[in-house]
Structure 1
Amino acid sequence: MKLKICGMKYPDNILEIGALLPDYMGFIFYEKSARYFDGEIPELIKTIKKVGVFVDETVENIISKINHYDLQAVQLHGKESVAFCQELKDKIGNRIEIIKVFSVEAIFDFEVLLPFEKVCDYFLFDTKGKLPGGNGVTFDWKILENYKSEKPFFLSGGIGIEEIPAIKNLNLPIYAIDVNSKFETVPGLKNKSLLRKFQKTLKPEILNLKQEYNEL
């Protein structure tokens, strides 16, 4: 189970959190977000994949951000269609991962995922709220018992340390856990000690590797 830390904003904090060696770090290119990123990303260790988060952006602007920031993945958090995802995939090829987000509430029709399976690498399930992400609350994960696809997915939405036992009890193809607001001091500024504790609880088997890196 991989870890994605999203909503990074401040260069010094990006380097500080990068020392924890998350699998993914997310940068939000949506101007209405409090975590909107418009700076420069400091150099990170190559194992960390940089994810650009977009909301109903044009293919051209997404590709521009991919090239400028050397992104390894894009996260589509709006109402992007299957045709849009296909067009993007055709232009960026298999070198860039495409993560399509679906906002979940009490009722969700998983049939809507089927047309996206061939044009996305992963799905991401987040809590449906007033904002396209960053609402800081979880949804009822029992609804995921109706998930029939073999496509691995990211689980997001208000996840903190207290949610780990429930996550470990989910018998589902969870590829990665996506965390954000539960580990912030202010929007975009992450608390390293809390994230380290989260890692230790979620993935204790990788702590030795991270400790060795941090001691270099």
Structure 2
Amino acid sequence: MADIRVKICGLRSAADVAAVVAAGAHYAGLNFFPKSPRFLTLDQAREVAFAAPPGLAKVALTVNAEDAALDAIVDAVPLDMLQLHGHETPDRVAELRSRYGLPVMKVLGVADESDLAGLMDYSLAADQLMIDAKPPKGAVLPGGNGISFDWRLLVGRKWLKPWMLAGGLTPANVAEAIRLTGARQVDVASGVETAPGVKDAALMAAFVTAATA
């Protein structure tokens, strides 16, 4: 599984970035959703982004963000990709790709097979897809809740664009998730934390090792 690419989301410090680099991850996620324990202000995000070496893709996670908020993020923070984690339509995805000239990853929540129906439309509009666990009813966060879905739903499925598996992944289960789904990319946030928003370098290293071994 050596060609598996790993995204670690919700980094909050230069030390987090250093741990991600040491672990061998490929993407660093910066969270701009104010209700999240992983939220960064523009100044904080800029500091974290500048700590990232060349080759580590810096990804901005936003949720139903308006143009003004996205303009401010893109202007202030050097980024490599936008991650849309809200109810953005395929048209909105295409609009933002054009507006910022950045690759866009669209996140889709899955709880059962019916939730997979919209993935093809989004695969036409986005550069990448993230297939995450649908948040529980009434949840404040659209992701990062530490829950997974039935990975067997993805067995044998193909989409037009690269995709990433997310939702409840940990160092203990990521290898099995990859085996079942055929995912070539995986995303983790809460699964490498000791408390919400508090990353652990040893857990990050263990996750990347388990995913890529």
TM-score, normalization by structure 2 = 0.86
Distance 1:7 1:108 in 2: 29
Structure 2: state its 5+ residue gaps: none
Q: Name 1:86's counterpart in structure 2.
A: 94
- Does the CA-based 8 Å contact 1:6-1:179 persist in structure 2? yes
Tell me the SS of whatever aligns to 2:59: strand
Aligned partner (choices 146, 157, 174) of residue 164 of structure 1: 174
| Structure 2 residue matching 1:124: 3-state secondary structure | strand
Task: Please state how far the C-alpha of 1:15 moved relative to its aligned partner.
Answer: 2.8
What amino acid does structure 2 have at the position aligned with 1:199? V
Matched residues in 2 for 1:27 and 1:66: separation?
A: 12
**TM-fit CA distance, 1:171:** 5.2
* Residue 36, structure 1, aligned to residue 46, structure 2: no
Displacement of 1:65: 1.1
Listed as ranges, the matches of 1:66-145 within 5 Å are: 66-93=74-101, 96-129=102-135, 130=139, 131-145=141-155
Say whether residues 1:7 and 2:10 are aligned partners: yes
Residue 146 (structure 1) shift: 6.5
1:201 correspondence with 2:207: no
- 1:187 corresponds to 2:190: no
1:208: which partner in 2?
Answer: none
SS of equivalent to 2:172: helix
Could you list the per-position Cα deviations for residues 13-51 of structure 1 after superposition, in whole angstroms to 9, with x for gaps in the alignment? 333333333100101101011111111324211110110
5+ residue gaps, structure 1, are: 205-216
SS of the aligned residue for 2:180 comes to coil
8 Å Cα contact 2:111-2:149 kept in structure 1: yes
SS at match of 1:19: helix
Aligned equivalent of 1:210: none
Cα root mean square deviation, aligned: 1.8
Percent of aligned pairs sharing the same letter: 29
State how far apart, in whole Å, the 1-side matches of 2:187 and 2:66 are.
24
The answer to whether the Cα contact below 8 Å between 1:21 and 1:48 also exists between their aligned partners in 2 is: no
Letter in 1 for 2:22: A
* Deviation string, structure 1 residues 57-85 (Cα, Å, up to 9, x no partner): 01342233123111101110000011211
Cα distance in 2 for partners of 1:69, 1:50 equals 9
2:64 paired with 1:61: no
What is the Cα deviation at residue 167 of structure 1? Answer: 2.6
2-structure distance, mates of 1:20, 1:182:
15
Distance 1:141 1:88 in 2: 30
| Alignment-mate amino acid for residue 150 of structure 1 | L
**Kept after mapping to 2: 8 A contact 1:75/1:98:** yes
Give TM-score scaled by structure 1 length. Answer: 0.85
For residues 201 and 66 of structure 1, do their structure 2 counterparts lie closer, same or farther at Cα, with a shift above 3 Å needed?
Answer: same
Question: How many pairs align?
Answer: 201
